[in-house]
Amino acid sequence: MSAILFPGQGVDWKTWMQPYLENNIVQNTLKEAENVTEIEIRKYIVEAEAKSNLRQPITTIAQPAILACSIALLRAFPPFTKKFRFYVGHSLGEYSAFVASQTLSFSSALKLVQARAKAMSYASALCQNPTSMLAITLTSRFPTDNFLNTVYSAVQKYRLIDIANVNSDRQIVLSGDKKELESITSTLSELVRSLGKLRSNWLDVSGAFHSRYMLPARDSLKNALGETEFNISPELCYTDSGKRFLPIISNVTAELYPADEEDIRRQLLLQCFRPVLFKNCLKTVKSKYGANLFYAYGPGTTMQSIAKQNGISTKSRP
If asked whether residues 164 and 43 sit together in one domain, one would say no
If asked whether residues 235 and 90 sit together in one domain, one would say yes
If asked whether residues 232 and 196 sit together in one domain, one would say no
If asked whether residues 116 and 62 sit together in one domain, one would say yes
Beta partners for residue 310, in sequence order: none
275 band by pLDDT with thresholds 50, 70 and 90: very high
Distances (CA, A) of 159 to 156, 179, 180, 183, 184: 7, 11, 8, 12, 11
CB–CB of 8/93 below 8 Å?
A: yes
SS3 track for 139-198:
CCCCCCHHHHHHHHHHHCCCCCEEEEEEEECCEEEEEEEHHHHHHHHHHHHHHCCCCCCE
If asked whether residues 179 and 49 sit together in one domain, one would say no
If asked whether residues 12 and 158 sit together in one domain, one would say no
Mean pLDDT along residues 112-117: 98
Determine the Cα–Cα distance for residues 313 and 12; give it in Å rounded to an integer: 21
pLDDT at 52: 47
57 band by pLDDT with thresholds 50, 70 and 90: low
Task: Look at strands 293-296 and 161-168 and give their pairing.
Answer: unpaired
Amino acid at position 187, single letter: T
pLDDT at 83: 65
| 3-state SS assignment for residue 244 | strand
Segments forming the whole domain that contains residue 145: 131-206
143 band by pLDDT with thresholds 50, 70 and 90: low
CATH at residue 166: 3.30.70.250
If asked whether residues 17 and 121 sit together in one domain, one would say yes
pTM for this structure? 0.94
If asked whether residues 120 and 135 sit together in one domain, one would say no
If asked whether residues 291 and 306 sit together in one domain, one would say yes
If asked whether residues 259 and 284 sit together in one domain, one would say yes
If asked whether residues 119 and 222 sit together in one domain, one would say yes
